[in-house]
């Protein structure tokens, strides 16, 4: 049986929920990964107002869509980051340039997210945790091991009270390993999971696109961390280094052809999705495959429709027999 095919709605936050659901259905999706932004999901209302919860459920039912995960990336970023003016785009306008209040808002709303999920009958939240040490990525001025460990500990201390609420509500948090997060590649992920080894409600949202351009083979990452993978994004990226372009992006915006890499619609990049499906099959992953559609060089309607078709084709079932069983004596 094919896995549930969903569309992550963050990149469609300009649409109201009804239009979003109608669009997802028309594009060929079985469900949506509902973003906690725009007009898609108000987590405070969903945590406190069961009439609103029913409205959301009714809208999903109207279009025969399932929702088994919500996306709380921008809220979670406000927890681990601090005193960054870019967070003004994520937090309520009245909190602009108030870092303590932005962090408090992020913590409060992540807790609301867990309760909202319980009310909606959802058990997975994908998202970010932020990072107090991302600015130390290149170790100059000199960066000590003590500074790095302090950052990992700070994330643990900030998120444990949030995870307590997740645990109480039978909801798991799935971190998307991503530049700008405290876990952004293989070994930073290994270190973070060791830090959270006593918190099984903390796991991963596997997204191969962020690994691909860093030179990490996504299927190897997936294989090694599969026991903590609670959700899977389908997203592609293409590396286009040409002797002038750099892997760090040169402060050039996404979509610009001068960049050394860009996100691409599924099937138009370098990610080997067949190897990913083989790992998922080997470990009996039966969760959703959620398309996070990002491609600044392609129309999103055409791209998201094509992406749905791509996933349906690549999501082959594992064999239930040995291929040579029929020739045995």
Confidence band of 321 (pLDDT split at 50, 70, 90) = confident
Span 6-35, pLDDT tens digits = 999 999 999 999 999 999 999 999 999 999
Q: Is residue 49 part of a domain?
A: yes
- Parallel, antiparallel, or unpaired for β 229-234 and 289-291? parallel
The answer to whether residue 30 is domain-embedded is yes
- Is 327 inside any structural domain? no
Can you give the residue range of the structural domain that contains 129?
5-319
Looking from the CA of 308 toward its CB, the CA atoms found within 13 Å total: 20
In the structure, what pLDDT confidence band is assigned to residue 5 with cuts at 50, 70 and 90? very high
**Does the pLDDT value for residue 1 go beyond 70?**
no
- What is the tens place of the pLDDT at every residue in 96-135? 999 999 999 999 999 999 999 999 999 999 999 999 999 9
Give how many domains the chain has, as a whole number: 1
323 vs 46 pLDDT, higher one: 46
pTM exceeding the 0.85 threshold for the entire prediction: yes
Q: Assign residue 192 the CATH number of its domain.
A: 3.20.20.150
Report the 3 state secondary structure along 136-168. Answer: HCCCCCCCCHHHHHHHHHHHHHHHHHHHHHHHH
CB atoms near residue 220 (< 10 Å): 13
Structure token pair of residue 272: 């080997």
Q: Residue 227 gets which letter from DSSP?
A: G
3-state secondary structure of 136: helix
What's the pLDDT score for residue 113? Answer: 98
């Amino acid at each position: 049986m094919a896995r549930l095919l969903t569309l992550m709605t963050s990149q469609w936050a300009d649409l109201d929920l009804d239009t979003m659901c109608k669009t997802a259905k028309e594009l060929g999706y079985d469900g949506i990964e509902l973003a906690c932004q725009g007009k898609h999901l108000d987590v405070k209302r969903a945590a406190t107002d069961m009439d609103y919860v029913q409205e959301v459920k009714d809208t999903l039912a109207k279009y025969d869509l399932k929702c088994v995960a919500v996306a709380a990336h921008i809220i979670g970023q406000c927890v681990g980051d601090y005193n960054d003016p870019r967070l003004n785009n994520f937090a309520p306008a009245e909190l602009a340039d108030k870092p303590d209040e932005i962090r408090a808002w992020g913590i409060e709303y992540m807790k609301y997210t867990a309760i909202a999920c319980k009310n909606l009958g959802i058990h997975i939240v994908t998202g970010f945790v932020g990072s107090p040490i991302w600015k130390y990525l290149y170790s100059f001025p000199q960066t000590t091991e003590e500074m790095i460990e302090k950052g990992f500990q700070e994330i643990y201390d900030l998120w444990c009270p949030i995870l307590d609420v997740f645990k109480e509500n039978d909801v798991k948090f799935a971190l998307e390993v991503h530049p700008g997060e405290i876990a952004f590649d293989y070994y930073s992920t290994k270190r973070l999971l060791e830090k959270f080894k006593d918190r099984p409600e903390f796991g991963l949202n596997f997204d191969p696109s962020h690994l691909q351009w860093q030179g990490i083979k996504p299927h190897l990452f997936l294989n090694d961390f599969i026991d903590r993978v609670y959700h899977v994004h389908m997203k592609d990226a293409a590396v286009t280094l040409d002797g002038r372009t750099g892997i760090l992006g040169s402060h050039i915006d996404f979509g610009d052809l001068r960049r050394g890499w860009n996100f691409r619609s599924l099937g138009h990049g370098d990610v080997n999705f067949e190897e990913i499906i083989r790992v998922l099959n080997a470990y009996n992953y039966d969760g959703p495959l959620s398309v996070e559609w990002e491609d600044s060089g392609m129309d999103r309607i055409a791209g998201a429709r094509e992406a749905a078709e791509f996933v349906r084709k690549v999501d082959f079932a594992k064999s239930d027999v040995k291929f040579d069983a029929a020739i045995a004596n």
